[in-house]
Structure 1
Amino acid sequence: MEKCSKKNSQKPRVGLFNPAAAFLTTGLLFMASAHALGATDKSNIDRGPRVESVNQQGKTVTVIVSDASGELIGANVIVKGTTNGNVTDFNGQVILDNVPANAVLEISYIGYQTKEVPVGNQTTINVTLAEDSQALEEVVVVGYGTMEKKQVTSSVTSLAASDMMKGVGGSDITSSLQGKISGLVMSNNGATNAGTTIQLRGLTSINSGKQPLIVVDGFPGGDIRALNQDDIKSIDVLKDASAGAIYGTRAASGVILITTKSGSNTNGKVKLNYSTELSKKQNYDKPEMLTADEYRARTDVNIVDYGQNADWWDAMLNKDNFSQKHHLSLELGTENAQVYTSFFYETNEGIAIKDGRQDYGGRLNANFKLFDGWLEIRPIVDYRQTARTSDGSDEDKKPNFKQALYNNPTRSPYDPESESGYNVWTGETLDYNIVADRMLNTYEGLDKWFKPEVTMKLNIKPIEGLSYTQTLGYENRQWELHEFDSRYHRTEVTNNRTGRAYLGFDKTENLTSEGYFTYVKEFKGGHNLNAVAGYSFFETNGENFNMTNYNFQVEGVKFWDIGKGSYLTDGKAAMSSAKDITERLFALYARANYSYNDKYMVSATIRHEGSSKFAAENRWGNFWALSGGWRISAEEFMKDFDWVTDLKLRLGYGVTGNNDFDASYMANTLSSDAYWMLPNGNWAYTYGPTSNVNPGLGWEEKAEWNIGLDYAFFNNRLYGKFDYYRRKINGMLYNVNVPQPPYPNGTQWQNIGEMESKGWEFEVGGDIIQTKDFTWTSNLNLSHNSGKILSMWGDGTYINGNTFDEPGWPGEASRIQDGAEIGAFYIWKFAGFDDDGNFLLYNKEGDVIPASEKTDNDKQYIGNYLPKVLMGWNNTFRYKNFDLGINMRSWIGFDVYNSFPMYLGIQGQNGAGQWNLWKPALEDERYNKIRGVKQLCDYFLEDGSFLKIDAITLGYSLSLKQYTKWADRLRIYGTVGNVATITGYSGYNPEVDITGWANGVDKVWDCNPIVRTYTLGIQVSF
């Protein structure tokens, strides 16, 4: 059963804050916390006796549970040794019947010391629970084990399930984490089936993996898309290398450890929890384009008027969308056996036409203790299936809102006289019917995840604190895609075909085996040791095949009779298959954490790891870390500072690797080279090498040091931490040119180049107000990151990226080379306009030249899309049975390249006028006089700073025990997601993709509707 407290013992970790009020808010947190320490009001608590009712079995007893600040809601009260018990209601009260006079009550609550109280002749019992400082300081999950938070010496951020946002309408759990973890950036285009890019503490590679390692229930390599939010117990983020080094080659970009719920001791009673969410999506702030009448009134170009009225953006919207989510969990347990199982079903309809998904699945987590506690077994079985009706990233397989902006508004997407019902025209590459393209295409994608896992722990009792844990895991991921284009589809009409069918299948299998000894021992004199040593094995295999055929006489069968297309008999159909290169990792590792009186702490980690991706002579690497901590608050000289609850200084250094690149970089691969006629007249392919294997290829290696300070004041009423880090990546992978001969191919992957990044993170949270009826908890985080390329593979070498879309193709807006800052734009510098409205630019000597005379060498590094500060601010208010949550984020001090006026706002640039125009460009003095060809210059750079209200949630909770015996608790809540964005930016959306080294553009060619979500949620516990 989910517990709730007026004290709110589970503290949210992060939040957002207004840039202008940064120091003011922090000061207010200190002042309000100090003032509120004495603000507890208990005068209204009725602790009077109740009339007892005695029967043959026992009597009725009223128990009122509180702490230093007031009553505790949801505390467990049970008659020891029986199943007779319940939880306290919203007055901190519980009534138990049939209680014998010789009974002992056991009262417990998360974050407090369990208390046992004899009943005797009492009928009304007042119990005050004391805070358990060890529990309040939390147990956090670290690599291959857990530790008390007070003993952690590296940078770790922990979230409880209650810290995650509810009802925000995301397709995976990442949407519920926005603004919750300092230094964590997530990018998603908002489509229902879009993937999410995750980046922690900035960029860690150019050509290798850049996302954190996901570890689910101790199994590395998890897929965050396969997780259900309601099944998650906690999330722990290992940020620095000293924390992640034990994961070796996969920890260069950080580690996210996710723990799912498991069963508890329910004294044999079955606990049932059911939750549901009903959601509606709304598009707001769509780009303002000219209406049909406004388009007809244009005089700057010779427009083509088709005599109709169309709003292409509006035609692409699914206004009747409705989403639902249902989750059912069952929990049953005794001291030696606990089971948690859950089932879920959800439909998520997007704001765009034919952009939806349907998910269902289930999970079984169990814990068993055998042989008098010698053996513990935790089996886990997880299954999820997702059916998709669009691709979230492929322009040809998702609703095309880019073209909705371009299209002529005087031409309708519909034609009632056509057999298809749509107005399909061909021969115009810059104007075509995107509504018909979407509706006349069938896209059925199916994702499947199946993960059976088991963890076995042998407690070696003769040696106190020693155990051996063995994990075995198997994961099967499958992807099926079925596609069909109608004979009326534009591509089929253009190519004179009668339908296209495609079937594709991909399968990936992962095997994991981990075995490690753990020794946890507290010795006399305040010495404490937590040590781990073991091995890790991981293997992945994959395969795929697909087929395509065209020209079908019967369209209704679609892809389910693919052999009937005439292209197969004509020899024009396509078919392919492939098997992925087997990848294996094997490692030996050890970690030791030592603390003395929880005052002085030191931690050391080493991992020796080998990867099949490298040549035998260069396959192994060593990754290590060393960190220490000093609890200053435990020193004698701090005794007079009684308002300082905890103050700990941390310092860590670690080395991790990155082998997250394609295995083909080091594989001796062959492919067909040429088609030759043999002497007998037959034709045959010749095969030759397609790669230049580099036997010296090795890991990208990240070395990072981190200094941090953890603090808690006023008896944990104010808490937080500060971290400063600096990292350097060596041996970066680049595909460089090599001579032919001796190499058969012109390029080879080599470890060349260095990159560095640095940054800081600050977190502060506080229980600002804490009274009997009202509490206010606020959490805020700030972070900053910057990076630089130190060297590449030679003087003058560089890589261009961030290519702008057609037509016009103005070039690429990013370049990395020696000394280049990550996030900087590499563009021309604007110098003004000539009398005809044409662009003037600066050349490399600083002279003003016409844009027509520019060269690539005239480009400069201008601006940067990495924010100076990322912020999150989360607030929770509780008044009696009501709760209000407000979650906000802010990015401050960064540049956005606004491509909307560049592509859709320059009058006269669109030839015959077949493109529509962005209306603000006609009304904005910055753009309404431009007549020349668009230029890739800083004229279109703007400050993108914004404050976003991610979610507002209002809830009401009610104890049901006073009304019925079979239900415990009911909670109803409503959430508005993506409430508003406050910004001075003039473009469409300032929240651009800031991950990687080539982004920061508000893209016309990759725009999607901004979606606001309205959600009604219900949670019931039985």
Structure 2
Amino acid sequence: MQQKQNCDYPLRRKGSISRVSKVTCGLLFCLTTGAFAAGENVELLTSNRIENAVPDQVGKTVTIIVQDEMGPVAGANVVVKGTTNGNISDMDGKVVLQNVPNNSTLVISFIGYITQEVKVSNQATIHVKLVEDAKALEEVVVIGYGSLDKKQVTSAITSLKADDLMVGVSGADISASLQGKIGGLVMNNLGSANSGTTFQLRGMTSINSGKAPLIVIDGFPGGDIRSLTQDDIKSIDVLKDASAGAIYGTRAAAGVILITTKSGSDTNGKVRLTYSNEFTKKQNYNAPEMLSGREYAEHNIGTDYGSDTNWWDELINRDNFSQKHHLALEMGTEKAQVYTSFFYEKNQGIALQDERQDYGGRVNASFKLFDDWLEVRPAVDYRQAARNNHYPNFQQAMRNNPTRSPYDPDSETGYNVWINESLDYNVVADAMLEDYYGLDKWFKPEVNLKLNIKPIPGLNYQQVIGYENRQWELHQYWPSTHRSEIDNSRKGHAHLAFSKTENLTSEGYFSYVKDFKGGHNLNATAGYSYFEVNGENFGMDNYNFSVDGIKYWDIGQGSYLTDGKAGMSSGKSVTERLFSFFARANYSYQDKYMLSASIRHEGSSKFAADNRWANFWSATAGWRISNEEFMKDFDWLDDLKIRFGYGVTGNNDFSATYMANMLGSDTNWMMPNGTWAYSYGKSQNVNPNLGWEEKKEWNLGVDYSFFEGRLYGKFDYYRRKVDNLLFSVKVPQPPYTQGSQMQNIGSMESKGWEFEVGGDIIRTKDFTWSSSMNLSHNTGKILTLEGDNSYHNGNGFVAPGTPGDAARMEAGSTIGSFYMWKFAGFDDEGSFLLYNKDGEVIPAAQKTENDKQYIGNYTPKLIIGWSHTLTYKNFDLGINLRSWIDFDVYNTINMYYGIQGQGNLNVLKDAYGKFNHIKGEKQVCDYFLEDGTFLKIDAITLGYTLPMKKYTNNLIDRIRIYGTVGNVCTITGYSGMNPEVDITGWDKGTEKFWSDFYPVVRTWTLGMQFNF
């Protein structure tokens, strides 16, 4: 009798547990039960019965060594064909069988590998090398409230495993490891040890509301990617289109990033230990070249104080050293599994006073109770980050007089502090004399209760309850020797602040997964979701302290408190609530024809009562052409699937205060008794007609795989429209108490395509070269605004001078376009000439706002991510590249520092070089617009894996040592610091030095991984 069994078990792939696959087969050994699924004449026996079984014939003792490409395979099943004589390979891949006849045949099998048959003959020792079975390694893709076999997916989804992420690219969060890995995903990160990351998937999805994808961590929506450690990540699945994300409703307008962390497995009661570490050194490169002190003096720009200071270099922390350590323990049986990890990380930035120190841990567990009727999966995650985020002002460093020294040996502090010069001050002293200590905390206890309704196979109910507590504490002190205190004739300033956010999640849903006769498969889910957010904060300031050394720990001693001039504040955020009912069904027939649909009925407290509820839905279909009979003769074709999806999602990712009757202190009024009192009035114009933003998107895709998985990829074309855009617009006073109100003002659309291709370029016994590439293109435009002639300006430039704005949004405008004056040359005196609206050349002094025009665009025509993995025996080499092609960057550094005549401010060397002809005032024009096309090598990693079992008596499984160079180089014609500017919005595309300005950083990392 042949028994068919489903087994979910972590497959051993290339020497390690790599992924969970669902395997259905006739001859299968299931490690979770210790049983053989019978095939042909093989009887169902446990491993104990095998040892006691009586052989059919008397024979000799045979030793079988089972290996794969990476070494010994533990847990492989070896049996004498047609008998019950068999056993499982040990940690060395060895099996010893007795009483094996010479004329017998051995059957060797292991999940994920092709079963082999080997004749015994006269051999006493038999070496077997297993080959991966590509068909058995069907990946499971995480989707909303469940998972699917990859072959059944009909939406645009990109999946990454832990091994796909870059290692050794130290950053403020895990986003650095994702660069270039997901087509259509753009990230912007300052590069500081404390900076956050901005995400944008498939272009802009809103002009004012949330533009970043929803983060879902282990099934809990609204996660914070900063709370994760890369070593704990098992997989990342990105839901790109509305048909995939509609199940998450209003929070999925910008896509969904599903992150699954590692969990325990059945280790037969043994403890597995993994320890890893990384040590990183950071290096600044491509700094702007300013005039030296002697050059500054030679050009008579300002007062010569006699020194020669490179202010940029003075702000660089050359002694930076970062390290992280991660320890994970895993153990389990069939009924109980536990994964726990602990980590410590110290991350020092390239700048002075930029560092953080993190530690924390995670526990993921799973328990099966009451004869598997109930599964309990508790999880607890804690992380604490101590931050020093007061790095110096690099913008100020560029303008500082280079003949001044930052140091004064005769000063009490050792720093040269001067005052009363707003555009020239000692940035080193400002940073080093201020005391800054911030503390971030994340605490997330969660539990998932799964009730398996066994009388109805495939039916279960899951109840999820999660709580997240985020806290932020800030301590700051400016001593009496600090410039700000000297300027204001004070003796110290202490500041304390605290904020807390609490997230509560409760979700319950039924799931039903069933394979029916005739090749029918159904995967359905229905349930509810509740999400609530609450927050509060307070802060206090006091001044004039008798002793600086106490800092903020005795804040009441400052004299400003007794003088009635100390500051105090507190607040409570508006409670946000989301409640919804949802359902999803996926159907497939013989893995050829697939249909899927989802609906979510959701209400948000952020809207007025009449507009709170909305429906979000999706429908998709797929046709797996490769499974058709007429395709059977194409042996080189593994998989070819066409899919189409349409979905509607919402967006309520904006402040809850827009619809709250907010009261604020408006002014002070004199009371009859001579005292002053605050008056409270409305601080928010409530719009009772405010409604949901809605994104409607369709996606057409093709998935393909050729030559037994040697070549694979996908192509997607999508088009989306967003209606009822939320934006703050000006309103008259009166009747409104405030000058602006949030309204639904218009619509926008975007379209684009994504192409992915990958495969094994070379695959031999000892050498493989695998490569994958993703290409993406996106364009968008504003369709309508609140009126025919309405517009909104943005991307404003700061003084000195009269720069103006560089962006305009109006009906018909293309997202990413610059809006500025067109450069026409220079006059004889070196002043700018511009074109007016009629195309005539005019002096810049005669320009008007109406003379501006749309010029260039900061959205790349093509974004490419390209990864290479090369292995030779135990060596591995990874190379990751990215490229943005054909886009424009506005070079603000050249505009502000490349022109002479800026008073006593320092300038670029180019101001007296290639820009020597410019003598007039700077202008916001396309003279400073440059092609930003670049090719960047994100990381190069060289590693070596050393098998250790035979050297350590099975104590250590393996050791891997690797070195990574991160942000290796950027090949570009752009003359600024970094062409990879922020493009995640409608008013971006400039290398902004006046805010969030930070050096370009290269990292050098040494890492080690120990598997016990």
TM-score (norm 2): 0.91
Question: Could you tell me how far apart the structure 1 residues matched to 2:364 and 2:292 are?
Answer: 56
Q: Cα 1:99–1:262, aligned 2, differ >3 Å: closer, same or farther?
A: farther
Q: Which amino acid aligns with 2:992?
A: K
Question: Could you tell me how far apart the structure 1 residues matched to 2:843 and 2:570 are?
Answer: 53
- 1:504-515 matches, within 5 Å, as 504-515=497-508
Match of 2:267 in 1: 266
Match of 2:364 in 1: 365
- 1:116-265 matches, within 5 Å, as 124-127=125-128, 129=130, 131-133=132-134, 135-265=136-266
Question: Could you tell me how far apart the structure 2 residues matched to 1:4 and 1:641 are?
Answer: 27
Match of 2:546 in 1: 553
Question: Could you tell me how far apart the structure 2 residues matched to 1:8 and 1:508 are?
Answer: 37
Match of 1:949 in 2: 937
Q: Cα 1:87–1:271, aligned 2, differ >3 Å: closer, same or farther?
A: same
Match of 2:309 in 1: 310
- Aligned-pair identity in percent equals 67
- 1:347-358 matches, within 5 Å, as 347-358=346-357
Match of 1:939 in 2: 927
- 1:547-946 matches, within 5 Å, as 547-907=540-900, 909-911=901-903, 914-924=904-914, 927-946=915-934
Q: Cα 1:7–1:546, aligned 2, differ >3 Å: closer, same or farther?
A: closer
Give the CA deviation at 1:923: 3.0
- 1:354-503 matches, within 5 Å, as 354-390=353-389, 397-503=390-496
Contact 1:6–1:878, Cα closer than 8 Å, also in 2:
no
Q: Cα 1:176–1:71, aligned 2, differ >3 Å: closer, same or farther?
A: closer
Question: Could you tell me how far apart the structure 1 residues matched to 2:172 and 2:86 are?
Answer: 43
Give the CA deviation at 1:3: 6.0
Match of 1:29 in 2: none
Give the CA deviation at 1:189: 1.2
Give the CA deviation at 1:652: 0.4
Match of 1:20 in 2: none
Deviates more, 1:672-681 or 1:200-209: 672-681
Question: Could you tell me how far apart the structure 2 residues matched to 1:233 and 1:83 are?
Answer: 31
Please state whether the residue corresponding to 2:211 is helix, strand or coil.
Answer: coil
Listed one character per residue, the Cα deviations across residues 621-660 of structure 1 (whole Å, up to 9, x for unaligned) are: 0000001001111222222322111110010000000000
User: Which of these residues, 963, 970, 992, is aligned with residue 951 of structure 2?
Assistant: 963
Question: Could you tell me how far apart the structure 2 residues matched to 1:64 and 1:948 are?
Answer: 43
Listed one character per residue, the Cα deviations across residues 813-868 of structure 1 (whole Å, up to 9, x for unaligned) are: 11111111111001100000000000000011111110001111111110000100
Q: Which amino acid aligns with 1:973?
A: Y
Question: Could you tell me how far apart the structure 2 residues matched to 1:439 and 1:811 are?
Answer: 34
Contact 1:159–1:234, Cα closer than 8 Å, also in 2:
yes
Contact 1:4–1:73, Cα closer than 8 Å, also in 2:
no
Deviates more, 1:119-128 or 1:315-324: 119-128
- State whether structure 2 residue 345 is matched by structure 1 residue 336: no
Give the CA deviation at 1:805: 2.3
Equivalenced residue count is: 955
Please state whether the residue corresponding to 2:949 is helix, strand or coil.
Answer: coil
User: Which of these residues, 1002, 1005, 1011, is aligned with residue 1012 of structure 1?
Assistant: 1002
Q: Cα 1:680–1:910, aligned 2, differ >3 Å: closer, same or farther?
A: closer
Listed one character per residue, the Cα deviations across residues 679-708 of structure 1 (whole Å, up to 9, x for unaligned) are: 455443332222222222111100000000
Give the CA deviation at 1:363: 0.3
Please state whether the residue corresponding to 2:313 is helix, strand or coil.
Answer: helix
User: Which of these residues, 14, 19, 30, is aligned with residue 5 of structure 1?
Assistant: 14
CA RMSD of aligned residues (A): 2.6
User: Which of these residues, 511, 534, 546, is aligned with residue 527 of structure 2?
Assistant: 534
Match of 1:30 in 2: none
Q: Cα 1:590–1:114, aligned 2, differ >3 Å: closer, same or farther?
A: farther
Contact 1:202–1:786, Cα closer than 8 Å, also in 2:
yes
Contact 1:648–1:711, Cα closer than 8 Å, also in 2:
yes
Question: Could you tell me how far apart the structure 2 residues matched to 1:99 and 1:544 are?
Answer: 73
Match of 1:49 in 2: none
Q: Which amino acid aligns with 2:526?
A: A
Deviates more, 1:371-380 or 1:116-125: 116-125
Q: Which amino acid aligns with 2:275?
A: Y
Q: Which amino acid aligns with 1:956?
A: Y
Match of 1:287 in 2: 288
Contact 1:295–1:916, Cα closer than 8 Å, also in 2:
yes
Listed one character per residue, the Cα deviations across residues 468-499 of structure 1 (whole Å, up to 9, x for unaligned) are: 11110000000000001111111111001111
Give the CA deviation at 1:134: 5.4
Question: Could you tell me how far apart the structure 1 residues matched to 2:975 and 2:748 are?
Answer: 34
Q: Cα 1:715–1:686, aligned 2, differ >3 Å: closer, same or farther?
A: same
Q: Cα 1:777–1:667, aligned 2, differ >3 Å: closer, same or farther?
A: same
Please state whether the residue corresponding to 2:994 is helix, strand or coil.
Answer: helix
Give the CA deviation at 1:807: 1.8
Q: Cα 1:215–1:329, aligned 2, differ >3 Å: closer, same or farther?
A: same
Give the CA deviation at 1:302: 4.3
What stretches of structure 2 of length at least 5 have no aligned partner? 1-9, 21-59, 80-84
Give the CA deviation at 1:799: 1.2
Q: Cα 1:682–1:430, aligned 2, differ >3 Å: closer, same or farther?
A: closer
Q: Cα 1:682–1:285, aligned 2, differ >3 Å: closer, same or farther?
A: closer
Deviates more, 1:854-863 or 1:807-816: 807-816
Question: Could you tell me how far apart the structure 2 residues matched to 1:437 and 1:592 are?
Answer: 60
Contact 1:798–1:815, Cα closer than 8 Å, also in 2:
yes
Give the CA deviation at 1:292: 1.2
Give the CA deviation at 1:124: 3.4
Please state whether the residue corresponding to 1:331 is helix, strand or coil.
Answer: strand
- State whether structure 2 residue 961 is matched by structure 1 residue 972: yes
What stretches of structure 1 of length at least 5 have no aligned partner? 12-57, 89-93, 391-396
Question: Could you tell me how far apart the structure 1 residues matched to 2:675 and 2:518 are?
Answer: 86
Contact 1:7–1:72, Cα closer than 8 Å, also in 2:
no
Question: Could you tell me how far apart the structure 2 residues matched to 1:695 and 1:641 are?
Answer: 61
Deviates more, 1:804-813 or 1:968-977: 804-813
Match of 2:26 in 1: none
Give the CA deviation at 1:169: 1.1
Please state whether the residue corresponding to 1:341 is helix, strand or coil.
Answer: strand
Give the CA deviation at 1:121: 11
Listed one character per residue, the Cα deviations across residues 131-153 of structure 1 (whole Å, up to 9, x for unaligned) are: 55555331000000000010000
Listed one character per residue, the Cα deviations across residues 966-994 of structure 1 (whole Å, up to 9, x for unaligned) are: 11111000001111111111121111111
Q: Cα 1:418–1:682, aligned 2, differ >3 Å: closer, same or farther?
A: closer
> RCO (CA 8 Å, sep 6+): is it higher in 1 or 2?
1
Listed one character per residue, the Cα deviations across residues 283-314 of structure 1 (whole Å, up to 9, x for unaligned) are: 1121111111222221xx54321111111011
Please state whether the residue corresponding to 1:705 is helix, strand or coil.
Answer: strand
Contact 1:316–1:435, Cα closer than 8 Å, also in 2:
yes
